[in-house]
Structure 1
Amino acid sequence: MNDLHRRSVVADTHNDLLCAVVSRPVEVWSDFFRERWLPQLRAGGVDLQTLPVFIDDPYRPEGALRRTLRMVEAAHRLAEGNPDDVALCRDGAEIDAALGGGRIALVLALESAPGVGEDVELLETLFRLGVRVASLAHFGRTALADGSGEDATGGRLTKPGVAAVAEMERLGMLYDVSHLGIAGVEHVLELATRPVIATHSSARALFDHHRNLYDAQIRGIADGGGLVCVNFFAPYLHATDFTIDRLVDHLEHIVGVAGIEHVGLGPDFVKEVLADTTPPCCEVDVVEGVPANEYLPGLEGPAGLPLVTEALLRRGWAEPDVVAVLGENVRRLYRAELGRPA
């Protein structure tokens, strides 16, 4: 591992490993995490890991809340079962304590929050359980907002969606605009009085896919003190050239628009998660019109993260800038905002 990478705080703002954990029997959740995922996180030098709670289609809408609670419980159990290696953190002080003790700081997030629906008061329930980041749409439409796959509707936030922004700001829960539609992102930026985050989004100026952000959106997030954490999923970076250079292109573009202090890493490693959760009978080849089996070589999972540091140094990045994007920016935002009431 590169020495600079080893010395840096490395933060990943989107890894769906909880989906893989809950696909196993409850009695092996902690062991499965320790045996399958912990070695990869350690090999990649990950110090701060955001864990999204993503609810698959079969559980929506009726089983969404039960599935959400089960995944939240899985996060607590894998932390309690591996207390020397990880800690579930609710604020900056707990993150600092975990990192100071050589443990990986875990932060719980909601991805699209189908278990909440219009019952915005449930955000406080989930906050009590440790959730500190949330997005309120995925590809499609929810009770709160339209996802990026519904851009043609021009939909902004619904009335409950507007209430959700206010509630999250009151609690000290970061609003995540990744997956939100164009009009929804603009609406959030109009409403927000606290920083927001895009946990796994790349640059639409470089590749025109609805999951990527326009420069104006990136600039708006930065102007509010927030972060854009770049997605590594190859088909969102380029049509055919699935290489780490294309990832660096997106990082450099977003740094140029937002400023170095407003950029982080949101890899969205899906290869192993799909393998762990998809029966052999029905392998997923396409997700929302893009190939699901194309990955950046060496960056199929968290163990490859040192390759990002090496690629940035090859491009001539100054060491302080590499350190900022690897994780210090995320650590600073989380320290300032997580769990801090308005």
Structure 2
Amino acid sequence: MPAELHANAVVADAHNDLLMAVVARPPARWASFFRERWLPQLRAGGVDLQVLPVFIDDGFRPEGALRETLRMIECAHVIAEGNAEDVRLCLDGPQIDAALTEGKIALVLALESMPGLDANVELLPTLHRLGVRIASLAHWGRTPLADGSGEDATASRLTAAGVAAVAEMERLGVLLDISHLGASGVAHVLELASRPVLATHSSARALRDHHRNLTDDQIRGVAATGGVVCVNFLPGFLAADPADYTVARLADHIEHVASVAGVDHVGLGPDFVHEVFTDLTPPCCEDPAATVDFDVMATLPGLAGPSGLPLLTAELLARKLPEPDIHKILGGNLHRLLTTYLT
């Protein structure tokens, strides 16, 4: 029964850093490496819609950030062109729906922070033309647009460039992602937003008091915009005690977000980094834990990557959640948001 439910659902993953691993290969290998290494995992996990974040490691910042941003965007296009029978890089809702109808995985490009832009908001239309449809303003630290949650002590709102970026994103139809944004920045965004806001990979702070997680008020704020909070699977964001690194704990966070925001506003943002970090060579990941206060290489049992996603469906079903609600959580809500907003 869980397998059938999972197979019949639209499964949407709001955050998988696989582009980091693919782009590290020679360009001639980008399409084939994705096909050999990642496509089987996505298929095994039943993933129908995959958001591909463009994340720029510190080694490329600041001078090489824009070049690496463009390389990763080009990599996504090469992946799609070289695997056209299986995936499609989608620019709008109709393209997403067409991909799903054809049995293809719909890929959507996102920017995780925007170091390649610095404060040059006028480049957002350029990146939109290249296919970017989701973007965030900060990562762990300070950017020219905003402070990340690692800088919460500053209590900083968005900079003038950050405010301009929000307005430009809304004009272009690029979804604003608040994951990683500092608390004051989130409040500022929620004041400014006139369109839905997305959290691509954030868990519940009520269950795990970590600055990367969202408070109940923030969760309600995202829901009030019509947006979706996609729960992060990284164990350190789910629990302080490694003994609680379980699929059940992940389900606790999902149920909590649903109870606060409503079941129409929760989704999945797994943040599967274990294989990415294992696969990459220095200097980008010599010490993956350097900027966090837990073991980022830890994984939930059976959920180290996309192929384990049916385990979550089984857990949600065992908790007696209504099947229509499970469909919404697995991807229905994110699918609805993207197909409605990306027009």
TM-score by length of 1: 0.97
The answer (yes or no) to whether the contact 1:286–1:292 under 8 Å persists in 2 is: no
Partner of 2:118: 117
Q: Counterparts of 1:106-255 in structure 2 under 5 Å?
A: 106-240=107-241, 241-255=244-258
Offset, 1:286: 4.9
Equivalent AA in structure 2 for residue 152 of structure 1? A
Q: What is the alpha-carbon distance in structure 2 between the residues aligned to residue 315 and residue 268 of structure 1?
A: 24
2:311 is the alignment partner of 1:334: no
Q: What is the alpha-carbon distance in structure 2 between the residues aligned to residue 67 and residue 16 of structure 1?
A: 14
Q: What is the alpha-carbon distance in structure 2 between the residues aligned to residue 158 and residue 119 of structure 1?
A: 12
2:26 is the alignment partner of 1:12: no
Out of 299, 302, 319, the residue aligned to residue 303 of structure 2 is: 299
Partner of 1:65: 66
SS at match of 1:291: coil
Equivalent AA in structure 2 for residue 181 of structure 1? G
1:260-306 per-residue CA deviation (whole Å, 9 max, x = no partner) reads 00000000000000011144993534541211221101110000000
SS at match of 2:298: coil
Partner of 1:274: 277
The answer (yes or no) to whether the contact 1:278–1:284 under 8 Å persists in 2 is: no
Equivalent AA in structure 2 for residue 189 of structure 1? L
SS at match of 2:229: strand
1:173-198 per-residue CA deviation (whole Å, 9 max, x = no partner) reads 00000000000000000000000100
2:310 is the alignment partner of 1:309: no
The answer (yes or no) to whether the contact 1:23–1:276 under 8 Å persists in 2 is: no
Partner of 2:34: 33
4+ residue runs of structure 1 moved beyond 3 angstroms? 278-287
Partner of 2:259: 256
Q: What is the alpha-carbon distance in structure 2 between the residues aligned to residue 211 and residue 190 of structure 1?
A: 20
Q: What is the alpha-carbon distance in structure 2 between the residues aligned to residue 186 and residue 170 of structure 1?
A: 20
The answer (yes or no) to whether the contact 2:13–2:268 under 8 Å persists in 1 is: yes
Of 1-10 and 99-108, more deviation after overlay is shown by 1-10
SS at match of 2:121: coil
2:326 is the alignment partner of 1:325: no
Superposed CA RMSD: 1.2
Q: What is the alpha-carbon distance in structure 1 between the residues aligned to residue 28 and residue 281 of structure 2?
A: 21
1:218-248 per-residue CA deviation (whole Å, 9 max, x = no partner) reads 0000011000000000000001210011101
2:288 is the alignment partner of 1:284: yes
TM-score by length of 2: 0.97
The answer (yes or no) to whether the contact 2:140–2:148 under 8 Å persists in 1 is: yes
Q: Counterparts of 1:69-80 in structure 2 under 5 Å?
A: 69-80=70-81
Q: What is the alpha-carbon distance in structure 1 between the residues aligned to residue 237 and residue 178 of structure 2?
A: 16
Offset, 1:149: 0.2
Offset, 1:64: 0.4
Q: What is the alpha-carbon distance in structure 2 between the residues aligned to residue 282 and residue 222 of structure 1?
A: 38
The answer (yes or no) to whether the contact 2:87–2:107 under 8 Å persists in 1 is: yes
1:113-148 per-residue CA deviation (whole Å, 9 max, x = no partner) reads 100111001111000000000001000000000000
SS at match of 1:84: coil
Q: How many residues align?
A: 339
